[in-house]
Structure 1
Amino acid sequence: MAEGDLKLLGFFTSPFAIRVRMVLEQKGLSYEYLEEDLTNKSELLLKHNPIYKKVPVLIHGDRSICESLVILQYIDENWSGSGPPLLPADPYERAIARFWAAYIDEKFVESFWGILKAGREETKAEKIADSIGVLKQLEEVFKKCSAGTGKGFFGGDTIGFIDVTLGSQLAWMKAIEKISGAKLLDETNIPLLMEWVNRFLAIDFVKSILPNVERVAEVGRVFQATIWKVDLAK
């Protein structure tokens, strides 16, 4: 199947679609990006992801691949000769990368989105503490990944599976800081990880793909207001 048959269905603030775009760019692959209106989902989205009806969806010819981490692995394996590898060659190291990527999506995303959902100050403080705790854990992971090597990313000299999983969340982290007043990205708590953040954000294709933080914050405020209205109505 030709590379030119690639389409990606996404939404501009979706970190899960953003990470797929990053890997497509890093691999140097040509693709058509189709922005979805999530309040009025397209027939194309409903056809290619009838189970979850959400983005991202990678369409490769007549094949549909859903769920961002699955899509990343598909791209890495299908275009192994294009660009740097996303996952390590060693089976154990591949398993470790998958583990921490899942940890970010399951534990960290839940905690920092919980800051927006929190309706009481004590609940918000708890979610902020949870998020900081996870970031400190990831600081230790990065320390182990780069120990004695001088490498700048979780994936080595170039961004890998863990890097794009976490890096795709940076615009939302900064937006949630802006909305809530929380300080998540703090050099005092995570000095090595903050160096990683600066290196990651300096990459050209990352800068071109990550959305404006204020625009993300606008979406976050709407989401927060909607959640609070639902809570008040219960």
Structure 2
Amino acid sequence: MEEKINVRLHGSWASIYSKRVEYALKVKGIPYEYIEEDLKDKSQALLEYNPVHKKVPILVHNGKPLAESLVILEYIDEVWPTHTPRLLPDDPYDRARVLFWANLLTHQLPEIAKKVFFCSGEAQEEALKEMHEKLSLIEHEMVDLIPKDVSYIKKETLGILDLQIVTLFAAHKAQEEVLGKALIDPEKHKLIYNWVNAVKELPFIKETIPPHETLVAALRNWSA
């Protein structure tokens, strides 16, 4: 008999990291309870479950907590291997390659995006240049991992990289309105641009994206 699933996710609507975990649970059809955390007034549960970083996301499975989005995504894929799609390839080499890029999308790109939003003038231009250079590198080096025909992108085919790229750039139109500049250039980074927009149009993702005005207000508040 299959073990009764007991899953809770502590997250925040504005966190790209908790949103990735939320999408992973949805795409694999794993029932869960979602708990929205106020990151300005953190709950006692959050502080107890993640005493090291005191951040979301936190996945609690059968009473056992896990932190860090990439760790949680790997855990979900290993604990529920029969829930398709698989988020990571089975082949060890392919899996290692995907995890390499997953680490970059988890750590490097969000840090560059922060610099773009928190800087101004010449420093912002340098950060934006760094972002565009990194995206060009990703398109070149990840060419066999980025879908060429986005019409084949479906809920049943998504993997860890799809979930990461869409949470990074689902709000790219709001980001562009706030910055007055594009984080993703549709001409220079056509593959990534099309990839992001195809994934964000999937119904189960589209319904979770806040209205444009809400995103713009949140980004302006974040960068103020």
| Same fold, judged at TM 0.5 (above) | yes
Give the TM-score taking structure 2 as reference length: 0.91
Q: Which runs of 4+ in 1 moved over 6 A?
A: 151-155
SS in 1 for 2:8: strand
Distance 1:7 1:31, change over 3 A: same
What is the aligned partner in structure 2 of residue 132 from structure 1?
Answer: 132
1:13 is matched by which residue type in structure 2?
A
Amino acid corresponding to residue 53 of structure 2 in structure 1:
Y
Q: 1:151: how far off?
A: 7.2
Stretch moving more, 42-51 or 192-201: 192-201
Alignment map for 1:81-230 (pairs within 5 Å): 81-118=82-119, 120-145=120-145, 158-225=157-224
The amino acid across from 2:91 in the alignment is D
Q: TM-score, normalised by structure 1?
A: 0.87
Alpha carbons of structure 1 residues 134 and 214: separation in structure 2 relative to 1, 3 Å: farther
When residues 154 and 66 of structure 1 are mapped into structure 2, their CA distance, relative to the original with a 3 A threshold, is farther
Instruction: Give the aligned residue type for 1:80.
Output: P
1:142, CA displacement in angstroms?
A: 4.1
Does structure 1 conserve the Cα–Cα contact (< 8 Å) formed by 2:170 and 2:196? no
Question: Given the alignment of the two structures, is residue 2 of structure 1 paired with residue 4 of structure 2, yes or no?
Answer: yes
> Percent identity among equivalent residues?
34
Distance (whole Å) between structure 1 residues aligned to residue 152 and residue 162 of structure 2: 7
Structure 1 pair 152–144 and aligned structure 2 pair: CA distance change class (3 A): farther
SS of the equivalent of 1:186 reads coil
2:10 and 2:46 in contact (8 A); partners too:
yes
How many equivalent residue pairs?
222
> Hey, what does 1:230 align to over in structure 2?
none
Task: Assess, with a 3 A threshold, how the Cα gap between structure 1 residues 202 and 34 changes in structure 2: closer, same or farther.
Answer: same
1:229 matched residue in structure 2: none
SS in 1 for 2:35: strand
Distance 1:153 1:41, change over 3 A: farther
DSSP 3-state at the match of 1:8: strand
Tell whether the 8 Å contact from 1:8 to 1:58 is kept in structure 2 after alignment.
Answer: yes
Distance 1:128 1:168, change over 3 A: same
Residue 100 of structure 2 aligns to which amino acid in structure 1? F
The aligned runs of 1:16-95 (5 Å cut-off) are 16-95=17-96
Name structure 2 gaps, 5 residues minimum.
none
| Deviating more after overlay: 167-176 vs 36-45 | 167-176
Distance 1:130 1:153, change over 3 A: farther
**In 2, Cα distance between the equivalents of 1:144 and 1:43?**
44
1:28-64: CA deviation from partner (whole Å, max 9, x where unpaired): 1110111011111111111111111110000111100
SS in structure 2 of the partner of residue 59 of structure 1: strand
In structure 2, relative to structure 1, the CA distance for the partners of 1:46 and 1:133 (3 Å cut) is same
Q: Distance in 1 between matches of 2:116 and 2:150?
A: 32
User: How many angstroms apart in 1 are the aligned matches of 2:68 and 2:198?
Assistant: 27
Deviating more after overlay: 7-16 vs 163-172 = 163-172
The change in CA–CA distance for 1:205 and 1:163 in structure 2 (over 3 A counts) is: same
**CA apart distance, 1:152:** 6.4
Calculate the aligned-residue CA RMSD, in Å: 2.3
- Listed one character per residue, the Cα deviations across residues 193-232 of structure 1 (whole Å, up to 9, x for unaligned) are 222122212211111223334323322222222xxxxxxx
Instruction: Provide the C-alpha distance between the structure 2 equivalents of 1:221 and 1:82, rounded to a whole number of angstroms.
Output: 39
Distance 2:152 2:129 in 1: 25
